[in-house]
Amino acid sequence: MDNIDKNKTWKDTLESLRVSVSDATYKTYLANTHLADLKENQGRAVAQIGCNSVYIKNQVESRYFGIVQDTLSRILEKPVDISFIVKSSSVTKENVDKTPSPLFDQPKIDKLVFNEAIKRARLRMGFTFENFAVSSSNQFAHAAAEAVFKNPGQAYNPLFIWGGVGVGKTHLMHSVGRCILEANIDSKIVACTAEDFTNDIVEGIRNKTTPQVRKKYRSIDALLIDDIQFIGGKDTAQEEFFHTFNAVTSAGGQVILTSDKPPSEIAKLEDRLKSRFEAGLIVDITNPDFELRCAIVQIKAEERGLKLESEMVQLIAGNIDSAREIQGFLVKLFSQANFKGTEITHEYIQNLLGKSQDPSNGHEIKANPTEVVAMVSKYFSLGKRELLGASRKRPIVRPRQILMYILKTQLDLPFQEIGRLVGGRDHTTVMHGVEKITQLASESGDIREDIKGIKKTL
C-alpha cells in the first residue's frame, strides 16, 4: 500500500469521524491523531494510529477503537487491523482542519515583531486556541470565539462570555485577540480589565488628559475587557464606557467582554449598557467536567515539558474541580519535585493531593471530627453505629472509606486518630481506605459528587 497517500487517507477518515462524534470529542481527542504507518498483510490493511500523548492514546483506544477501525476500513475498502502508538506528527494540524495561522504567511513580519504587537495589546502570550481544551462545558463559547476571530465586528458583537473563576473566559478572549493580530499585524487592539479602564478614566480627569484616554479606547479595531461586572455602580466609568462601546462598534470594531455573571445580574449596571450587552451573543462557560479537567492537566503538564501517565492525569483531575486550582497544583507538583529531586510517581501525587487539600492551606473547616462523622452518616442515610461498625457490606464500606478520606484531607488527622474515630480500626486500614477513595475519585463521577456534596456541608 505504498502508493496510498497516508495524509489524505487520514484526512478523509477524520472528516468522516467528525460527523459521527461530538465536536468536543473530535477536537479534544481525534483531532490529535494521525496515520503513522499503513501496510498490507494477506489482504488486510495494517494501520498504526499516532497520538500526540499517552493520554490521547489511552482515551481514543479505549473509547473509539471500533468507530475508528470501521471508518478507516470503509475509506480503504478492505478489512483493517489498527493499533495505537504515541508519536507526534508535523502534519497533525493540517489533518484536524484547523485554521492555519496567517502569521507565517507574512514573510515581512518576524516573530519578534509579532511578540511586540502582543505585548503592546496587553494580550497574554500563552493564551491561544491551540492550548485551549474543549469539552461540553465550553464548546459553545469556543465555537462563538472562533466565529468572532474569523469575522471580527460582524459575527457576534459584542461577545459576552460569563462564568465562574478559572473556567477559561480570559483565555478565550485573548485567543481571539491573538488571531486578529495574526490576520493583520497592524490591527489596533486593547485588552484590559474593567479596573484598568476605570483607573484610566480617573487619571484622565485628574490630569486633564481625557481626550487622549478616549482616543486610546475608541480608535481601535478590538476592545477586550475582563471582569466587566466591576464597572457596576461607577457612574463616570459607565458613562465613558457607553460612548466608547458605541464608538468602537459603529466603526466596525469588535467588543468582547467577560464577567462572572450575565448582564441581567450585574448589580448597579445601567439599563442602556445591559441592552447593549444583550444585543450581541451571551455565552456561559460552566465548571469543567472530568474529561476536560484531564485535558487541562495534560496540556499544562506538557507546557512544562513533562508527560504524565494517564493514571496520574486522571488522579489529579478526579480530585481537583477547578482549572485554576489544577494549574496551581501542577506548579506546586513540579516545583517540589524539582527542588527535592524527587521522581513524580502515582504515590507522590497522592500524597501531595492530600497536603494540598489540607485545611491549613486556606480552607476554613467549620466542623470537628464528631460533626464530620454525623454529616457523613446523614448524607448516606446510615446510622452512626452502622457506619462505624464491623459490617463489610459494600453499601457501608464505601461511605466509611469516604469518611476516612474526608477526615484525612479536610481535617488532616493522623491515620491512627482516624482509625480510633472510625470504630477503632488499624492505621493501615485507614491508609487503604484513603488511597482507595483517592483513586476512585479519578474514575467515578458518583464518588466525586458524594465528596463534593459532603465538602459543601463543611
pLDDT at site 1: 58
Q: What is the pLDDT of residue 355?
A: 56
What pLDDT shows up at residue 284?
A: 92
**Contact residues for 160 (Cβ-Cβ < 8 A; gap 6+):** 256, 257, 258, 259, 262, 263, 277, 278, 280, 281, 282, 283
Q: What is the pLDDT of residue 400?
A: 93
Q: Please name which of 443, 363, 448, 344 lies closest in space to residue 405, comparing C-alpha atoms.
A: 448
- The predicted pLDDT at position 58 comes to 78
Fold designation for 109-285: Rossmann fold (3.40.50)
CB 375 within 8 A of CB 402: no
Structural domain spans, the chain: 6-95, 109-285, 290-356, 369-457
Residues 6+ apart with CB under 8 A from 372: 403, 406, 407, 410, 411, 458
Question: Which pLDDT score, from 0 to 100, does residue 356 have?
Answer: 54
CA dihedral (139, 144, 148, 153) in degrees, to 10, reads -160
Q: Are 260 and 163 in contact (CB under 8 A)?
A: yes
SS (H, E, C) the chain: CCCCCHHHHHHHHHHHHHCCCCHHHHHHCHHHEEEEEEEEECCEEEEEEEECCHHHHHHHHHHCHHHHHHHHHHHHCCCEEEEEEECCCCCHHHHCCCCCCHHHHCCCCCHHHHHHHHHHCCCCCCCCCCCCCCCCCCHHHHHHHHHHHHCCCCCCCCEEEEECCCCCHHHHHHHHHHHHHHHCCCCCEEEEEHHHHHHHHHHHHHHCCHHHHHHHHHCCCEEEEECHHHHCCCHHHHHHHHHHHHHHHHCCCEEEEEECCCHHHCCCCCHHHHHHHHCCEEEEECCCCHHHHHHHHHHHHHHCCCCCCHHHHHHHHHHCCCHHHHHHHHHHHHHHHHHHCCCCCHHHHHHHHHHHCCHHHCCCCCCCHHHHHHHHHHHCCCCHHHHHCCCCCHHHHHHHHHHHHHHHHHHCCCHHHHHHHCCCCCHHHHHHHHHHHHHHCCCCHHHHHHHHHHHHHC
Q: Which residue has the cell 505504498?
A: 2
Please tell me the distance from the alpha carbon of residue 298 to that of residue 333, in angstroms, as a whole number: 14
- The torsion angle over the Cα atoms of residues 89, 94, 97 and 102, rounded to 10 degrees, is 120
Query: Given this model, what pLDDT does residue 362 score?
Result: 41
CA 212, CA 2: separation in Å to the nearest integer? 65
pTM equals 0.59
pLDDT of res. 171: 93
CATH topology of domain 369-457: Chromosomal Replication Initiator Protein Dnaa; Chain: A; (1.10.1750)
CATH of domain 6-95: 3.30.300.180
Say which CATH class 290-356 falls into: mainly alpha
CB distance 78 to 44 below 8 Å: yes
The confidence score (pLDDT) of residue 303 equals 80
- The pLDDT of residue 336 is 77
Quote the CA–CA distance of 290 and 319 in Å, as a whole number.
10
For the chain, which ranges sit under pLDDT 70? 1-3, 22-24, 55, 89-110, 354-366, 442-443
